[in-house]
Structure 1
Amino acid sequence: MPRALSRATQILSSASDTPRLDAELLMAASLGIGRDRLILDEPRGETPATFFDLVERRRSGEPVAYITGHRGFWTIDLEVGPGALVPRPDSETLIAAAVEHFAGTAGPSRILDLGTGPGTLLLAALDEWPKATGLGIDASDAALAYARRNAHRLGVGGRAEFRIGNWAEGIDARFDLLLCNPPYIAAGAETGPGVREYEPAEALFAGPEGLDDYRRLAPEIGRLLAPGGLAAIEIGFDQAEAASALLMEQGLSPALALDLADRPRALIIRG
């Protein structure tokens, strides 16, 4: 198996920025075990016959999460697949900002996740705050099907509600925590291998500047955010100034949160 992993890493080096990690995840999936077990207690025996089939799918650009059917995020594991945006580690910046904001308190009581996809941000927040309830909105039936299954599997189905919708349209309640990872890629921008080809365009692209959905969201944030609450909105690494300006036009005062690579990643608004 070490030889197979080395060969797979070489094959994937032209198709991925993380070829060794991808190879390990695919080997673990073909063995039906977790990557941690693969690394800590390497199985002996023949390489599974399906392994290089999975490698070839990844070499063609298919996201690892679609191949394995799941992706880890924050403290949870999510089912993902075609029709749902793959959770990115960068989005954990929003949860980290919320944890910092609510430190020393009982935490948020009511959470809203606009553009929830497979439930990524809402379910991570509900896992963080076991007494909270939440609402996830998305325009995609396919994404919401993943979200509902994830909520049930994680044991929070009774605390999570998911609805089809157009951002905050029809919502008149206030929330202690508002989370949002909107589409923010400019229509003509380059993307990583397989992103444009496999992931849902409506979850990725937002007009010629990548700002279309911030324009829709900015007028809604103030009315949705409860006093003492927090809104965390993901942005592209080069959108801090432009997205902040749209929020400031609505009388909001956004602060900037950086991701683990010290790049601008979220705008934070305190109620």
Structure 2
Amino acid sequence: MSIVNDIRTAFSRRDNALNQLLLINILVFVVLILIKAVTFLAGGSGIYESIVRLFSLPADLGALARRPWSVLTYAFLHQGFLHIIFNLLNLYWFGSLVREYLGDRKLVSLYILGALAGAALFLLAYNLVPAYRNGPLAEVLGASGAVTAIIVAAATLLPDYTFNLILIGPVKIKYIAIVIVIISLAGIDGGNAGGEIAHIGGAIFGFSFIKLLQRGTDLGRPVQATGDWFGGLFSGRPRLRVTHRSRPTEPATTARKGGVVKPEQDEIDVILDKISRSGYESLSKDEKQKLFRASQK
């Protein structure tokens, strides 16, 4: 079938992380809908709920020990069309910015680690904070924590980038991120307190990820290394090792056509400073390409 081929093609490309994340969420949602419909027609009461519970994140540590995979799988589960639509729209809009500026690998790192950060704060709150610890058992599911990490990361990297919102007009994404965080804080005493806490965990991670990245620390390296390992495992291709001979130390700057070229990292720092001052739109095409090429290394 052409649909199956399209899906296979989407996952075979190495530069397609955003679409792959969107597809995974959509496929899981569709599979769950099919399971729900089939089990309902077959009279299998409770089967759908049991499957959702199996992959949702529980606050109870005993339940978590029986299904440790849920610290990540919860971030790919959705219940209800509005739930998944809002999450995937935000993932697409803000994920496109992160992908364009930082590349596919850092986008995936943000999603995975943002989900883990949301899970960590949720578990800490429901096991240490009296207001939650003494309440009813809770479970959380949905990509909101991971998506919030991407939203806040994009706003931290490109605070003055503007989206045109329906009925509102142009709004800088830093204000969108602030509103999302405030809404999450306002909801920590409501019926979806666990979800709102996961959003806050994701937001804290997204902000920290970009700030540390700008200082030269990439928190996503373990995720990228794990992805490379699995990629090599399933591709069946041998891993290549590059060796080189030592060369005499070169000067920090090199001449080219009569001019002096700064080291590449200095150029990237200048571009990032320009983004923080004037926004991504102020970059030239050449500067955007340099930033993207650097993100792939």
Relative to total residues, which structure has the larger helix share, 1 or 2? 2
User: More strand by proportion, 1 or 2?
Assistant: 1
Computing the radius of gyration from Cα coordinates, the structure with the larger value is: 2
Superposition TM-score, scaled by structure 2 size: 0.26
Normalising to structure 1: TM-score of the pair? 0.28
**Which structure's relative contact order is higher, taking Cα pairs within 8 Å and 6+ residues apart?**
2
